[in-house]
A and B are shown apart, each in its own frame.
Chain A
Amino acid sequence: MRLVLEKRDNKSQSMAIIVPVASFIISLVLGAIVLAVSNANPLAAYKAMVTGAFGNMRRLQYTLVEAMPLLMCGLGVGIAFRLKFWNIGAEGQYVWGAIGITWVMQFWTFIPTPMLLPIGLVVGMLLGAIWAGIPGFLKAQWSVDETLTTLMLNYVAIGLAEYLYISKWKAPLGNMGTPEFLPQTWLPQIWGKVHWGVYIALSLVVLLWFLLYKTRWGFELNMIGKNPRAARCQGVSIKRNIILAMLLSGAICGLSGSMNTAAIAHRLTKGVNANYGFTGIIIAWMANLNPFASILVAIVMAALTTGADALQITLKLPEAMGEVLQGLVLIPLLAGSIFTEYRLRAIHKEAI
């Protein structure tokens, strides 16, 4: 007797719901095992995490603030993924956003102060777009595999940023990186710690939803991702669209970086690469490229991070638990993704 995977006749709707839910439950169980093995009480730990993420106003605000760059990177990456273009370079594009706004804040003294913030955000977008456009062009023109090129460029960007905040642009005093942005140029706060970025992020969600689901271009991107040959038969240009989509993808990730820098760090400093880019990939994938679903997924991932922070404070457990859980959620989800297209069958004797 053997177990065989067999293609289904139609996409299983029930599985599309069961699999993510089951995966989440399985990951909680696995996480509990990790906790138990390291002498911690799983229930207490989870309770602490939930409280840490949502327990009171302040904690909720922290979670939302953390969710914003995650959401935006997820949205940016999602555009590229729609074309089955694996943009692993979100991290680097985010960093260029941070570099861009720092550049404007620190050196564009010729423009009036109120303009620094908006222009800084735009410059961050442009730099992120270019950084993503390069691997896009390489793929369109010479079929260079985008997984590796986008990945490599991450480290070039991170290294460049470090060079800037450690030596070239470093503030003369102290060891905190570049000089702090003028307080009047910071991204304003709306509700406690929650800042204007929430408007930017939500506007992007709506804008992208519109672009991807309502416009001709979104229709074409969908075609390319699902069957490039048929798309080409219908006159859609594959090369042009890869480059355009990558420019947009990088622009959004860049915007995420400049936004977050303007809101939180207010300077280019160590820790500018905070894994938002990489986690954004996970978010895009888990949300199945849907902009609205990305909001929920981003909040969950952010909650895992802030919850883990709280874990460290209250139960003295390492905050790395957040990352562990994020990885653990993904693994059963990846395993289960096949069940929407295939089913399991037992075969009793040789048959063809």
Chain B
Amino acid sequence: MNQNNPRIPVVRMENITKHFPGVLANDSVNLELYPGQVLALLGENGAGKSTLMNMLVGLYRPDSGSIFVRGQLVDIQSPQDSMALGIGMIHQEFMLVGNMTVAENIVLGMRDLPFVPRIPAIKARIKELSARYGLQVDPDAVIQDLSVGEQQRVEILKLVYRGADILILDEPTAVLTPGESRDLNKIVKIMLAEGKSAIFITHKMDEVIEFSHKVQVLRRGKTVNICDTGEVTPQALANMMVGRDILFSLDRCAYHPGEVKLKVDDVTINNPLGQRPILDHVSFEIHQGEILGIAGVAGNGQQQLTEAITGLLHCTSGRIQIDGVDMTNTTPLHVIRAGVSHIPADRGAMGVVGDMSVGHNLAMKKYRTDEISKGIVIKNNSLRAFANRLISAFTIKTPGQDTSVKFLSGGNIQKTILAREIDSCKSVLIAVYPSRGLDVGATEAVRQNIIAQRDQGHAVLLVSEELEELQMIADRIAVMFEGRIMGIRDVKETDTEELGMMMAGAMRRKA
């Protein structure tokens, strides 16, 4: 397996196309990986990187296109098939059993394991591989006692023990400290020297620069460019990753921000499981009549930031003020009573109660008020009238207000949430990835509603993965990376390149 001909790609994916309901995840993508090489697959969330790799490891099947491994056409139907071909993947969420030992996790499910596994022999082999690649780990250690970096090493050992020589790593340094990243680099280099190869799925510039020989940029399911890492600048890569500058913005009132409505002051949330804090001394202010956009690839603390503000997540230190009143670590009910509305990231899990009706979901914010209730009793007529009003005002497409909300399309579920939150917003609107997964029409409706709130004088915090959206709507943009604010800019005084660089962690300047 280590005698690969350097001319023949060890993996070749040809014209791979993959559809999911409503979205074209991969559009005729070609990929080549050569032995002894690291290929970085760079792109934002939704660019199609994970989908592409999931097909290499047998979790999905391509709709069309072919896959060649070591020159042979293959049909990968399951993770076991890909493992047999020597391909292994380390996912962002590790596949480890917490209360079992390292050795047990490594051999779990192996076909040719004897009835009574010879633990000493297994441990010896683990130690041998550890020494060879610099993957220091104690085979007797229990997984949940290990640091995240050590757990990652176990995952790598798992693949290597089973004979993988094509490794796919999904956002590997997302959970590592700088020191651990350097260690990972050493490990990868040793493997490459043996003729193994690797693909890194990433959105981080420093990962690309540090680890890869070649970089392939994906955007909206298509390959934008493939180049040698040494021959391209980070700025150019950032541009490729996020796209061109936007030439227009949506109609809205002139920008005359009023007083400060929401103030986040040096907020930090420690991470009990890892080294890096979830939020790292985050500070910003949002004024009346202003939209502050939070840019950055998902997973860099944006969601946690909004949960800290809405009282769902506990802050280790720092202060949050709404309308001048201290709201740090208060209950969600207090925040709601302060007039804050929240359109959450995960609409199914947090935004609606799927098994309850559209009408009831619409009433979930105001059922405590006398618009719907009298004392402890909910007046059915008031509720129905309220729901009907919202359904027509926001053109929610539903068979009726009694239909369970889980049967609505994604766009209409979002409209339901939007209707409820906007109708009750009195000071601050927090919208997290509001147009995720929506079609053009629904997206436009969402954006117009958000602008309308700002024009009415509310303060809006808009978290979005799409830079274009923020450039279209926001007045100022803050970029988050690894729990920190990299910088805050006026939308008119920055460009895609600068923002893209900050999103990839490549640049830091004072706000």
Write the chain B residue with the least CB distance to A215. Answer: B376
CA distance A44 to B354 in the complex (A): 48
Residues from 217 to 235 in A contacting B, C-beta threshold 8 Å? 217, 219, 222-223, 226-227, 229-235
Contact B404 A233 (CB under 8 A): no
Against A, the Cβ 8 Å flags (1 = close, 0 = not) of B343-374 are: 01000011111111000100011011000010
Residues from 304 to 352 in A contacting B, C-beta threshold 8 Å? 350, 352
CA distance A350 to B365 in the complex (A): 46
CA distance A233 to B60 in the complex (A): 34
Contact A223 B407 (CB under 8 A): no
A47 at the interface (CB under 8 A from B): no
**Residues of chain B with a CB closer than 8 A to A236's CB:** 333
CA distance A227 to B356 in the complex (A): 9
Given A216-B376, A352-B61, A222 contacting B350 (CB threshold 8 A): no
CA distance A226 to B356 in the complex (A): 8
From A11, A223, A235, contact of B331 by CB (8 A): A235
From A214, A217, A226, A234, contact of B332 by CB (8 A): A234
**Residues of chain B with a CB closer than 8 A to A227's CB:** 349, 352-355
B414 at the interface (CB under 8 A from A): no
Contact A230 B312 (CB under 8 A): no
Against A, the Cβ 8 Å flags (1 = close, 0 = not) of B82-97 are: 0000000000000000
Contact A352 B350 (CB under 8 A): no
CA distance A216 to B365 in the complex (A): 12
Contact B349 A214 (CB under 8 A): no
Residue of B342, B353, B377 contacting most chain A CB atoms (<10 Å): B353
CA distance A217 to B373 in the complex (A): 11
Residues from 221 to 253 in A contacting B, C-beta threshold 8 Å? 222-223, 226-227, 229-237
A10 at the interface (CB under 8 A from B): yes
From A10, A217, A230, A352, contact of B353 by CB (8 A): A230
From B337, B350, B403, contact of A233 by CB (8 A): B350
Write the chain A residue with the least CB distance to B379. Answer: A214
Contact B364 A223 (CB under 8 A): yes
CA distance A219 to B403 in the complex (A): 17
CA distance A217 to B333 in the complex (A): 15
Contact A216 B332 (CB under 8 A): no
Write the chain B residue with the least CB distance to A233. Answer: B350
Contact A235 B336 (CB under 8 A): yes
Given A10-B407, A215-B378, A223-B364, A233 contacting B351 (CB threshold 8 A): yes
**Residues of chain A with a CB closer than 8 A to B336's CB:** 234-235
CA distance A234 to B77 in the complex (A): 43
**Closest beta carbon of chain A to B196's beta carbon, Å:** 29
**Residues of chain B with a CB closer than 8 A to A214's CB:** 377-378, 380
Write the chain B residue with the least CB distance to A9. Answer: B407
Contact B349 A234 (CB under 8 A): no
From B77, B355, B367, contact of A216 by CB (8 A): B367
B310 at the interface (CB under 8 A from A): yes
**Residues of chain A with a CB closer than 8 A to B349's CB:** 227, 229-230
**Residues of chain B with a CB closer than 8 A to A230's CB:** 349-353, 364
Against A, the Cβ 8 Å flags (1 = close, 0 = not) of B310-328 are: 1010000000000000000
**Residues of chain B with a CB closer than 8 A to A219's CB:** 360, 367, 378
Residue of A11, A214, A227, A235 contacting most chain B CB atoms (<10 Å): A235
Contact A226 B355 (CB under 8 A): yes
**Residues of chain A with a CB closer than 8 A to B350's CB:** 229-230, 233
Interface size in chain A (residues, C-beta < 8 A): 23
Given A234-B332, A234-B336, A11 contacting B404 (CB threshold 8 A): yes
Contact B355 A234 (CB under 8 A): no
Contact B354 A235 (CB under 8 A): no
CA distance A291 to B332 in the complex (A): 32
Residues from 187 to 221 in A contacting B, C-beta threshold 8 Å? 214-217, 219
Contact B354 A215 (CB under 8 A): no
Contact B77 A350 (CB under 8 A): yes
Write the chain A residue with the least CB distance to B332. Answer: A235
**Residues of chain A with a CB closer than 8 A to B404's CB:** 10-11
**Residues of chain A with a CB closer than 8 A to B373's CB:** 216
Against B, the Cβ 8 Å flags (1 = close, 0 = not) of A16-40 are: 0000000000000000000000000
CA distance A234 to B337 in the complex (A): 10
CA distance A217 to B376 in the complex (A): 7
Residue of A214, A219, A234 contacting most chain B CB atoms (<10 Å): A234
CA distance A10 to B407 in the complex (A): 6
CA distance A222 to B403 in the complex (A): 16
**Closest beta carbon of chain A to B321's beta carbon, Å:** 19
**Residues of chain B with a CB closer than 8 A to A223's CB:** 353, 356, 364
Contact A231 B378 (CB under 8 A): no
Given A226-B353, A229-B349, A237-B331, A216 contacting B378 (CB threshold 8 A): yes
**Closest beta carbon of chain A to B413's beta carbon, Å:** 12
CA distance A322 to B161 in the complex (A): 59
CA distance A277 to B152 in the complex (A): 50
**Residues of chain A with a CB closer than 8 A to B353's CB:** 222-223, 226-227, 230-231
CA distance A231 to B380 in the complex (A): 20
**Closest beta carbon of chain B to A60's beta carbon, Å:** 36
CA distance A229 to B352 in the complex (A): 9
Write the chain B residue with the least CB distance to A211. Answer: B376
Residues from 67 to 83 in A contacting B, C-beta threshold 8 Å? none
**Residues of chain A with a CB closer than 8 A to B333's CB:** 235-237
Contact B356 A222 (CB under 8 A): yes
**Residues of chain A with a CB closer than 8 A to B312's CB:** 232-233
Residue of B60, B61, B350, B380 contacting most chain A CB atoms (<10 Å): B350
Given A216-B373, A223-B353, A232 contacting B367 (CB threshold 8 A): no
Residues from 108 to 145 in B contacting A, C-beta threshold 8 Å? none
Given A9-B407, A226-B353, A229-B349, A234 contacting B377 (CB threshold 8 A): no
**Closest beta carbon of chain A to B335's beta carbon, Å:** 8
**Closest beta carbon of chain A to B397's beta carbon, Å:** 15
**Residues of chain B with a CB closer than 8 A to A233's CB:** 310, 312, 332, 342, 344, 350-351
CA distance A325 to B32 in the complex (A): 66
CA distance A231 to B61 in the complex (A): 38
**Residues of chain B with a CB closer than 8 A to A235's CB:** 331-333, 335-337
Contact B377 A215 (CB under 8 A): yes
CA distance A326 to B185 in the complex (A): 65
**Closest beta carbon of chain B to A179's beta carbon, Å:** 43
**Residues of chain A with a CB closer than 8 A to B367's CB:** 216, 219
**Closest beta carbon of chain A to B23's beta carbon, Å:** 16
CA distance A10 to B403 in the complex (A): 9
CA distance A233 to B367 in the complex (A): 14
Write the chain A residue with the least CB distance to B383. Answer: A219
From A9, A10, A11, A234, contact of B365 by CB (8 A): A234
Q: Given contact pairs A215-B377, A236-B333, enumerate 11 new A-B contacts (beta carbons under 8 Å).
A: A214-B378, A214-B380, A216-B367, A219-B367, A223-B364, A230-B352, A233-B342, A233-B344, A235-B331, A235-B333, A352-B61
Closest 4 CB pairs of A and B: A235-B333, A227-B353, A226-B355, A235-B332
Query: Can you list 20 A-B contacts (CB < 8 A)?
Result: A10-B404, A214-B377, A214-B380, A215-B377, A216-B376, A222-B356, A223-B353, A226-B355, A226-B356, A227-B353, A230-B350, A230-B353, A230-B364, A232-B312, A234-B336, A234-B365, A235-B332, A235-B337, A237-B333, A352-B60
What residues make up the interface of A, taking CB atoms closer than 8 Å to B?
Answer: 9-11, 214-217, 219, 222-223, 226-227, 229-237, 350, 352
